[in-house]
Structure 1
Amino acid sequence: MDSYVDGHGYLAACTAGLPTHGTLAAMRADLDEWGRGASDPARYGALVEEGRARFATLVGVPADRVATGSQTSAMTAVVAAALPDGAEVVVPDGDFSSIVFPFLAQAHRGIRVRSVPLATLSTALTSDAALVAWSAVQSATGEVVDSAAVVAAARAVGARTLCDLTQAAGVLPVAAAPFDVTVTHAYKWLCAPRGVAFMTMSDDALGWLRPVQAGWYAGADVWSSCYGPDMRLADDARRFDVSPAWQAWPGAVAALRHVGSLDMASVWRHGAGLADRLADALGAVRQSQAVMTVPDPSGAGLAALTAAGITASGRAGRLRLAFHHWNDDSDVDAVARVLAR
Structure 2
Amino acid sequence: MPLTTTPVTDLRAAFSPVDGYLDAATLGLPPRASADALREALDAWQSGRADAAAYDAAVRRSRAAYARLVGVPVEHVAVGSQASSLVGVVAAGLPDGAEVVVVDGDFTSVVFPFLAHADRGVRVRHVPLDRLADEVRPGTDLVAFSLVQSRDGRVADADAVCAAAAAVGARTLCDTTQAAGWFPVDASRFDVTVCSAYKWLCGPRGAAFLTVRPDVAATLRPLHAGWYAGADVWASVYGPDMTLAPDARRFDVSPAWLCWVGLAPALELLAAVDPREVRAHDARLADTLRARLGLRPTGSAIVVLPDATGSLRARLAEHGVRAAGRGGGVRLAFHVWCSEADVERAAEALVAAHAL
Aligning the two structures, in what range does the TM-score lie when normalised by the shorter sequence?
over 0.9
Which amino acid is 1:107 matched to?
A
Three-state SS of the structure 2 residue aligned to 1:129 is coil
Select which of 285, 299, 306 maps to 1:274. Answer: 285
Distance 2:331 2:296 in 1: 15
Which amino acid is 1:299 matched to?
G
Deviates further, 220-229 or 119-128: 220-229
- Root-mean-square deviation (CA, aligned residues, Å) is 1.0
Equivalent residue number for residue 90 of structure 1: 101
Deviates further, 277-286 or 178-187: 277-286
- Where do residues 161-240 of structure 1 align in structure 2 (5 Å cutoff)? 161-240=172-251
User: Cα distance, 1:339 vs. partner?
Assistant: 0.9
**Is the alpha carbon distance of 1:60 and 1:72 closer, same or farther for their aligned partners in structure 2, counting shifts above 3 Å?**
same
The answer on whether the counterparts of 1:138 and 1:167 sit within 8 Å (CA) in structure 2 is yes
Equivalent residue number for residue 80 of structure 2: 69
User: Cα distance, 1:237 vs. partner?
Assistant: 0.4
Equivalent residue number for residue 256 of structure 2: 245
User: Cα distance, 1:285 vs. partner?
Assistant: 2.5
Distance 1:333 1:152 in 2: 41
User: Cα distance, 1:205 vs. partner?
Assistant: 1.1
Equivalent residue number for residue 286 of structure 1: 297
User: Cα distance, 1:196 vs. partner?
Assistant: 1.0
Equivalent residue number for residue 30 of structure 1: 41
Unaligned runs of at least 5 residues, structure 1: none
Distance 2:18 2:97 in 1: 48
- Where do residues 259-338 of structure 1 align in structure 2 (5 Å cutoff)? 259-338=270-349
Distance 2:88 2:36 in 1: 34
Three-state SS of the structure 2 residue aligned to 1:77 is helix
Which amino acid is 1:167 matched to?
Q
Distance 2:293 2:72 in 1: 41
Equivalent residue number for residue 6 of structure 2: none
Three-state SS of the structure 2 residue aligned to 1:11 is coil
Three-state SS of the structure 1 residue aligned to 2:209 is strand
Q: Given the two structures, how large is their TM-score scaled by the length of structure 2?
A: 0.94
Distance 1:49 1:273 in 2: 34
Distance 2:318 2:47 in 1: 41
Q: Deviations over 1:138-191 (max 9, x none)?
A: 000101111111011000011000000111111011100010000011111110
Three-state SS of the structure 1 residue aligned to 2:188 is coil
Three-state SS of the structure 2 residue aligned to 1:134 is strand
Distance 1:120 1:254 in 2: 39
User: Cα distance, 1:307 vs. partner?
Assistant: 2.1
Report how many aligned residue pairs link the two structures: 341
The answer on whether the counterparts of 1:8 and 1:326 sit within 8 Å (CA) in structure 2 is no
Distance 1:269 1:50 in 2: 27
Equivalent residue number for residue 4 of structure 2: none
Distance 1:221 1:138 in 2: 38
Percent sequence identity over aligned pairs: 54
Distance 1:4 1:169 in 2: 18
Q: Deviations over 1:66-118 (max 9, x none)?
A: 00011000000000000001101000111111110000001111111000011
Which amino acid is 1:256 matched to?
L
User: Cα distance, 1:328 vs. partner?
Assistant: 1.1
Distance 1:336 1:103 in 2: 40
